[in-house]
Structure 1
Amino acid sequence: MTTAEQDVSGAGSQPLSPDEVRLINAWWRAANYLSVGQVYLLANPLLREPLTPAHVKPRLLGHWGTTPGLNFIYAHLNWVIKRDHANVLYIAGPGHGAPGVVASTWLEGTYSELYPEISQDEAGMCRLFRQFSFPGGIPSHASPDTPGSIHEGGELGYSLSHAFGAVFDNPDLVAACVVGDGEAETGPLATAWHGNKFLNPAHDGAVLPFLHLNGYKIANPTVLARIPHAELEALLRGYGYAPIFVEGDEPMAMHQKMAAALDAAFASIRAIQQKARTGGGTAERPVWPMIVLRSPKGWSGPKTVDGKQTEGSWRSHQVPFTMEKPEHLGLLEAWLRSYVPEELFDAAGRLRPEIAALAPVGDKRMSANPHANGGALMRPLKLPDFRDYAVAVQQPGGANAEATRISGGFLRDVMEKNAANRNFRVFGPDETASNRLQDLFEVTSRAWDAEILASDDHLSPDGRVMEILSEHTCQGWLEGYLLTGRHGFFSCYEAFIHIVDSMFNQHAKWLKTSKEVAWRRPIASLNYLLTSHVWRQDHNGFSHQDPGFVDHVVNKKAEIVRVYFPPDANTLLYVTDHCLRSWNRINVIVAGKQPSPQWLTMDEAIKHCATGIGIWEWASNDRGAEPDVVMACCGDVPTLETLAAVDLLRQYLPDLKVRLVNVVDLMSLQPKTEHPHGLSDADFDELFTRGKPVIFAYHGYPWLIHRLAYKRANHENMHVRGFKEEGSTTTPFDMVVRNELDRFHLVADVVDRVPGLGAAAAYVKQAMRDRLTEHYHYVREHGADMPMVANWRWPGAE
């Protein structure tokens, strides 16, 4: 039996003296009082006079039901931190928990240090109440404005994965993560319990989950609160935890139970870590403690409202009652006075010294923990020179390479150079090798603290590649890692990154808001590599073919998002290095992993990527003249098809003046007034002209290009080809044909849109139709692409 599996129920124990219980309960009452005040009060914060309607907010927003439980846990964690000098990060998973978290940070003094106008007195308390869920104030979640927070809790399900991400490579940190029982019903949270199979007690910190069972969501009971105790315990033990149950509603008894539970949990954590760090560890995975707190919804609030049960009911989930009935004003005043504020605050509105003394000091306060402002701890990565990994390109298309494999060599050396600092990890859902990043395994393994068999490949408790077949968990781990001051890289199949659409949303919103909070330091960017992309998922079929994540990304604020489509390995190296050096952004890189022609030397790639868009002169013949047509491309396969189309145009229409424009940085298409990487109108017109036809081959859904460029002078002449939701298990070239992105359709588009081609036009169109017919029959007979397609090379590259 491991340490955590011993009797840690705390049943019958009395670890606190009566005076200690009294003080902790006073802190809890103070936090509850401040929480209710934030939801309801506009003025009269200390009830110096009887409440009137003028003292109450006109719009009552926020959530009370989860708050007293959050305050209860916070108070007891402070007791442990103060006594044991523990290093604890508080993560509030339940939604809309800000009243409690903000109340505790104000009681600790951190809030007033960062916001001096919210002082620790009656005037500051009034401002604290007024600002909550009020125009110009703060939201009802533990947003970036909230000291000590790395997790907003607005969208449920991410708290536990954030907690594990925070403690990876933080050996002295304990992430105390409160999981709401409503939150526990989400898919991301259900998977996140498995983070304990990836946690190495020798080098990582610990996660102490608190499953808070208050029984209800907005209007319904919660699943885990309604299953039998034995079933719940079996579930949690099955996840690999030793649950400690703290259950009841009588405050004084509950304080003793929680104190005993925390004593047992922290003792278990210390024992696990000491064993692992002193050489006494074994191959057996530790069983980590967790605490299950079962307390009433809206604990300490009104028992009933209008004759209906409120405390312990779904009715206390949000605002237990409004001011629509005159008698509710008296109910509110009675509720607030039940906390006896005159015992908690002095005549000036300051927390009484003996209660304030319960708070830790300095950085030991959870609201001031440096890990909650990770940018203050962030150290830059040591990066090798990406130019050392360049693919030698003697002439365009004269070399073949797997772009992501080349990038994998670069990432391998990034990993090695930063091994001593332990501040870089690579994340992905079981696809590191599939995405051609397997060179990483030359210097590290996959993190794994569960059973390892002799036949397993590159598994180790010390591994720094994080793989679990859950995009949600990978994203949550990475976010927690970044938010606490480290660096990371996330590779994923393009079609399935959609699984984390909402998580991307929330992180983008966090970054946007953080930039507006003066004391928040910048954190390393969240970097996605999307590969195994739509155009080379011909073997897996239609289910794996979706390039739409980028459409979702570009909805976010321009200062936050960047999207890159490097067309070959050398441009991917440049972009990868650039993204790893950036901060406070979300970078999306879309690149192929299959052997493909390489177009640019490293010197050319650097110059091209530095601008993000440009003319490929070697593929153009319009120098010194106005082009007849602009052939634009964005993405590796669209670039290949566009170049093949240009080659055909040279054969069939040798006098046609063609300009080829390649786009690496998608956001360059937007006006500079819309995005910092955007081109000015003058620069855009120089590239795309003001009146010539533009045939644009794009990696994703074609309407995104129109959306980005609709304000441009020549937009009406842009014809965009892209993915049209046509796909199957087929050949690589048949995929582009099905979506009419192929070279033959592109040539036909030129013929249709360039005036003055005369008699040649009909013959060229006929030839292109013939090639498509030949392709149709050949691919169905041979199961492979025609040799003229499969063996095509840019002229001179043979």
Structure 2
Amino acid sequence: MPGEVIDRPNPPALPSHIPDYVDGLIVKLEKTKLKDDVDVAVKKWQRAANYIAAAMIFLKDNVLIERDLTPEDIKPRLLGHWGTCPGLNLVYSHLNRLIIEHDLNMLYVVGPGHGAPAILASLWLEGSMEKFYSKYSRNTEGLTALITKFSTPTGFPSHINAELPGCIHEGGELGYALSVSFGAIMDNPDLIVTCIVGDGEAESGPTATAWHSYKFIDPAESGAVLPIVHVNGFKISERTIYGCMDDRELAALFTGYGYKPVFVGKDMDAVDAELAAAMDWAVGEIKNNQKAARGGNPITKPQWPVIILRTPKGWTGPKEIHGHILEGSFESHQVPLPKAKTDKEELAALQSWLTAYKPEELFTEAGEPVDEIKSIVPKDKKALGQNVHVNESYKPLTDVDWRPLCAEKGKEESPMKAVGSLLDKLMVANPKSLRLFSPDELCSNKLDAVFDHTGRNFQWDQYSQNQGGRVIETLSEHQCQGFLQGYTLTGRVGIFPSYESFLGIVHTMMVQYSKFNKMARESEWRKDISSINYIETSTWTRQEHNGFSHQNPSFIGAVLNLKPTAARVYFPPDANTFLSTISHCLRSKNYVNLMVGTKSPSPILFTPEEADAHCQAGGGIIKQASTEDGLNPDVVLVGIGAEINFEVIVAAKILQERCPELRIRVINVTDIMILSATDNTHPHALSDDAYAALFCPEVPVHFNYHGYGQEIKGLLFGRPHKRITFGYYIEEGSTTTPFDMMLVNKVSRFHVAINAIKGAALKNEKVRLRQHELVTALERDIKKTQDYVRGHGTDVEGTYDMPKF
């Protein structure tokens, strides 16, 4: 009936046997007999970490239960996620043992993002919290601060983020932990990243694809990922897909992916012995694969270990309340006892839950973890929260001079071909710290010069396996973004080139990353990292052959919406300015850089020296297209975007021929942020005086812009102008010709010229006398050109010839 509360029964037991036909797919291990002191240590670690994690969600006082709990001890808002924490703490404790016994260099990437209570608890136990945040010292005062401030305005949030030591992956939007982990191990041969993939996250499309990541990893040059699939059966309010799959189904799935699966958790009383055996075996498998590859006898299509860890949801928490099942159900996903502050039964259950961990056996009188717990903390920066790959790994690229690659002014060159040549030289100079992550579009985007000295790193292809390669090409933008993030956050430099229309697929990933980076910059212990670099090409202006679906510049707006301290968007108008721009971007740190350019051959407007000066200024006057070098104009024409800028230049030529009495200043903007009003505080914004000197706001100005109108209008809001008009992408397109794309979106040379005449007529009497005549002739040109395109299926010959001034 509507509103009726139905309690959910315990989930059905999984099959106790595996059919013979999949017996060979599942690795069966003998349980590892841990040394007595180690066994005690890992169990006490888990109890202490689980205690702290649970206390974080509930307690604002009495953090070590030195007296019975009262309602006043409970936080007014109970925020956090308990259900995943015990499994994360179980793994953390065993990773400590593993690092010490095998002398490993390891990171811990956690997919269940709201597991922050678990990770914070373990970071406090190992001393990483006090290393980077003195107020979280390992004593009663520090523990009190950690617990009572959690999920408050002055404490840590409930999701894993950049403020957490050792973290390279933001919690929240799910699906990316695995690809970030694989990005981190590339060119880090000594690194193992243990990645927890929750069974809820495993339902996401990016995660499903990320299981194939090993097929892009050459073990001779890179480290390894140890995936642990944490199957606890429930999401926030529903069963998980993996939780409803038995062992034979999961074994078949992961064997098909290319893994050797081992299952842990059939006997929860012996789970430590099972997990220890599985981890030791996994490290052995990883080292065997790497030894073969590094010894010159690589294994073809090596299988890699994966651990399937089954634990009850909310394990070690309260079993039930008010007759409702908690442990082992979705009810324990977030806050198992949501009315602990007002309900006596729930408060008593909380008291029983927390005291069952026996905190008096876990902490000294001073609130410090007991010696057994501290005995399994790795030393010498090997602790998971202190790994140097997170904190101290960035090294700038060895630079390459881009100027010798420039084309001669007045000639034509594809910007992407020029960039490809530069990237080739940069990869030769930086053989272990620069990679391209591309969704199968490098050659289409004319960047294939990168293959002059490297190849694609695809290990499942008999022709490219075991040969390394600086290029990762995979038809998944999510994978490219995840790889890029992991690679960048561990100190290297990456580039993500893509068709313009499909970068939007990773819009929210990019935003999540920029938020991570913002918080990282505000954490004093985080060091600088490379910027992440996008090259957006095959733009809507040259996607006429693929049709309307491929015409979408929306990713530009996504980057522009970021904080001014985070975002940089560039529109180099020719090959030489693009070379200058990408050279700058690859040297920059901590930004999201977006470079928008054409792959088509286009006129070279600047010498190398002029290109560099133009880019450093963010824009400037194109004197050869202006009248009298742009002095005393009747109208200012501004081009932003390579193809769009070309239309402005041709419009200037048309106007000079048809209306020689009209005075024009032509401007190109390559760094769009210079337009931002000074009160928007972007560091690249022109001062009011500099803006007025360049754009002459006392005369009409027409902006011809590559992206959407609201972007350019928003940037210019607050700038003074006597009259301002715009041309921009208006969501018109089809399978047509390149110039017809300009016409239907009203950014063609004819539309620019019409706006120029109407604007100049306000100041220049001679232009006003001829306004109707000139505009009518241009409108006829539009109609005549459209008729030609529809009749011949091609543009008028010479449409893209550079005019001579």
* Equivalent in the alignment of 1:58: 76
Alignment partners' CA distance in 2, 1:306 and 1:160:
39
What are the equivalent positions in structure 2 for 1:368-767 lying under 5 Å apart? 368-373=386-391, 376-393=392-409, 398-419=410-431, 422-453=432-463, 461-621=467-627, 626-673=632-679, 674-714=681-721, 717-754=723-760, 755=762, 756=765, 757-767=767-777
Alignment partners' CA distance in 2, 1:314 and 1:260:
29
User: Unaligned stretches of 5+ in structure 2?
Assistant: 1-22
Alignment partners' CA distance in 1, 2:321 and 2:194:
34
CA drift of 1:460 comes to 5.4
CA drift of 1:227 comes to 2.1
- 1:719 partner letter: T
Alignment partners' CA distance in 1, 2:178 and 2:756:
54
* Equivalent in the alignment of 2:17: none
Number of aligned residue pairs: give it.
776
Alignment partners' CA distance in 1, 2:86 and 2:693:
62
Q: Is the 8 A contact 1:198 1:461 kept in 2?
A: no
- DSSP 3-state at the match of 1:708: helix
1:263 aligns with 2:280: yes
What are the equivalent positions in structure 2 for 1:63-82 lying under 5 Å apart? 63-82=81-100
Structure 1 residues 788 and 86: CA distance shift in structure 2, 3 A: closer
- DSSP 3-state at the match of 1:589: strand
Alignment partners' CA distance in 2, 1:9 and 1:451:
30
- 1:692 partner letter: V
What TM-score do you get using the length of structure 2 for normalisation? Answer: 0.94
CA drift of 1:559 comes to 0.8
- DSSP 3-state at the match of 2:533: strand
Q: Over aligned residue pairs, what C-alpha RMSD do you find?
A: 1.6
Alignment partners' CA distance in 2, 1:563 and 1:572:
12
What are the equivalent positions in structure 2 for 1:91-490 lying under 5 Å apart? 91-248=109-266, 250=268, 252-282=269-299, 284-322=300-338, 323=340, 324-373=342-391, 376-393=392-409, 398-419=410-431, 422-453=432-463, 461-490=467-496
- DSSP 3-state at the match of 1:720: strand
Structure 1 residues 164 and 769: CA distance shift in structure 2, 3 A: same
What are the equivalent positions in structure 2 for 1:18-29 lying under 5 Å apart? 18-29=36-47
* Equivalent in the alignment of 2:11: none
Q: 2:794 aligns with which of 784, 793, 797?
A: 784
Alignment partners' CA distance in 2, 1:380 and 1:403:
24
What TM-score do you get using the length of structure 1 for normalisation? Answer: 0.95
775-784 or 486-495, which moves further after superposition?
Answer: 775-784
Alignment partners' CA distance in 2, 1:85 and 1:5:
31
* Equivalent in the alignment of 2:14: none
Q: Is the 8 A contact 1:217 1:314 kept in 2?
A: yes
Structure 1 residues 708 and 459: CA distance shift in structure 2, 3 A: farther
Q: Is the 8 A contact 1:9 1:261 kept in 2?
A: no
Q: Is the 8 A contact 1:731 1:784 kept in 2?
A: yes
Q: Is the 8 A contact 1:446 1:459 kept in 2?
A: no
CA drift of 1:459 comes to 6.4
Q: What CA deviation, in whole Å up to 9, does each residue of 1:349-394 have, x standing for no partner? A: 1111122102111311111111122xx111110121111111111x
Quote the sequence identity (%).
Answer: 44
Q: What CA deviation, in whole Å up to 9, does each residue of 1:301-338 have, x standing for no partner? A: 01002210011100111111223313222111111101
Structure 1 residues 702 and 213: CA distance shift in structure 2, 3 A: same
- 1:380 partner letter: P
Q: Is the 8 A contact 1:8 1:265 kept in 2?
A: no
* Equivalent in the alignment of 2:4: none
Structure 1 residues 200 and 365: CA distance shift in structure 2, 3 A: same
- DSSP 3-state at the match of 1:446: coil
- 1:498 partner letter: G
Q: What CA deviation, in whole Å up to 9, does each residue of 1:39-71 have, x standing for no partner? A: 111111111111122222111111001111100
Q: Is the 8 A contact 2:702 2:755 kept in 1?
A: yes
- 1:795 partner letter: K
- 1:424 partner letter: L
- 1:650 partner letter: Q
- 2:704 partner letter: A
Alignment partners' CA distance in 2, 1:49 and 1:505:
45
- DSSP 3-state at the match of 1:362: coil
* Equivalent in the alignment of 2:8: none
- 1:257 partner letter: E
Q: What CA deviation, in whole Å up to 9, does each residue of 1:272-310 have, x standing for no partner? A: 11111122324x111000100011111100100221001
Q: Is the 8 A contact 1:445 1:459 kept in 2?
A: no
Structure 1 residues 459 and 728: CA distance shift in structure 2, 3 A: farther
CA drift of 1:622 comes to 5.5
Q: Is the 8 A contact 1:403 1:595 kept in 2?
A: yes
Structure 1 residues 165 and 625: CA distance shift in structure 2, 3 A: closer
User: Unaligned stretches of 5+ in structure 1?
Assistant: none
CA drift of 1:738 comes to 0.7
Q: Is the 8 A contact 2:44 2:372 kept in 1?
A: no
Alignment partners' CA distance in 2, 1:595 and 1:486:
31
1:794 aligns with 2:803: yes
Alignment partners' CA distance in 2, 1:567 and 1:193:
40
718-727 or 324-333, which moves further after superposition?
Answer: 324-333
Q: What CA deviation, in whole Å up to 9, does each residue of 1:454-482 have, x standing for no partner? A: xxxx6654111010000000110011001
CA drift of 1:104 comes to 0.6
Q: What CA deviation, in whole Å up to 9, does each residue of 1:12-50 have, x standing for no partner? A: 524324553332111100000010111111111111111
- 2:262 partner letter: I
Alignment partners' CA distance in 1, 2:181 and 2:103:
20
Alignment partners' CA distance in 2, 1:730 and 1:686:
40
Alignment partners' CA distance in 1, 2:381 and 2:345:
45
